[in-house]
Amino acid sequence: MVFETMVCTACLTLAAEGPAPSKVSTPKGDILIRPIEHATLVLEWSGLAVYVDPVGGKDRFAGLPEPDVILVTDIHGDHLDPATVKALATKKTLVWSPKAVHEKLEKAGVTAKSLAALSNGEKAKTGEIEIEAVPMYNLTPERLKYHEKGRGNGYVVSFGGTRVYLSGDTEDIPEMRALKGITAAFVCMNLPYTMTVAQAASAVLDFKPKIVIPYHHRGQDVKKLKALVEEKSKEIEVRLLEWYPKKG
């Protein structure tokens, strides 16, 4: 199933407060990466803003362009905050999420240009941005209770053909290892909910993104991930960003 909606691509000029964004180049301009915290981020490209798992209130996104797209991966509180989605969504915003999330957003009275559920394997499109919902789930027996297969979504977002992977909460599942043509990959790794540093490194070395950005990694050693990947591959850049800003 494919959902397609066109949005205005007028230039968005507002810039976020804080450090300069990290960049991923594409033939049609840079993707600007703005980490907010933990699993929450904003991607800007070609006058469009994609918000991923926005939580913590609207004020956290002050100075950023209003969202053209909001993607939510799962029902847990570090990914889904219906009040924040409701506060951020405008008449131009397209909100896509798995069914379990979609039901909670509807119950919370979230309104937007489009509020639609995507299941694993389904796609959505707006302008030159295409989104594919991909599996995210646990494999290890003692972790199966955290993320069952089919409930949540990871996403592959294509920005004019440049593919960005957002893992959501997952272990090193076969579907991740089989990914192709990924330019930048946001890969989670924290215990006990997702996977170890070694699992993440192993998966990254299998699907070979040009850039891997560890996120959702509270308490894990991201420098170890960098060392494990770079020991085996000179073609993969491990980019370490600030996901846990100091408070106060």
pTM: 0.91
Residue 142 has pLDDT above 70, yes or no: yes
**Could you tell me if residue 17 is inside a domain?**
no
Residue 104 has pLDDT above 50, yes or no: yes
Average pLDDT for the chain: 91
**Could you tell me if residue 247 is inside a domain?**
no
Per-residue tokens: 87? 């506060």
Domain that holds residue 132: 2-7+22-238
> Please, what is the Cα angle at 167 between 161 and 172, to 5 degrees?
120
Residue 224 has pLDDT above 50, yes or no: yes
**Could you tell me if residue 16 is inside a domain?**
no
CA nearest to 186, candidates 162, 158, 217? 217
**Could you tell me if residue 169 is inside a domain?**
yes
- How far apart, in whole angstroms, are the C-alpha atoms of residue 85 and residue 213? 24
**Could you tell me if residue 15 is inside a domain?**
no
- How far apart, in whole angstroms, are the C-alpha atoms of residue 34 and residue 188? 16
User: Do 78 and 39 touch, CB atoms closer than 8 A?
Assistant: yes
Per-residue tokens: 82? 């219906």
**Could you tell me if residue 35 is inside a domain?**
yes
**Could you tell me if residue 115 is inside a domain?**
yes
- How far apart, in whole angstroms, are the C-alpha atoms of residue 153 and residue 17? 29
**Could you tell me if residue 244 is inside a domain?**
no
SS3 59: helix
pLDDT at 20: 84
The number of folded domains in the chain is 1
Share of the chain above pLDDT 70, in %: 92
> What CATH number corresponds to the domain at position 118?
3.60.15.10
Residue 3 has pLDDT above 50, yes or no: no
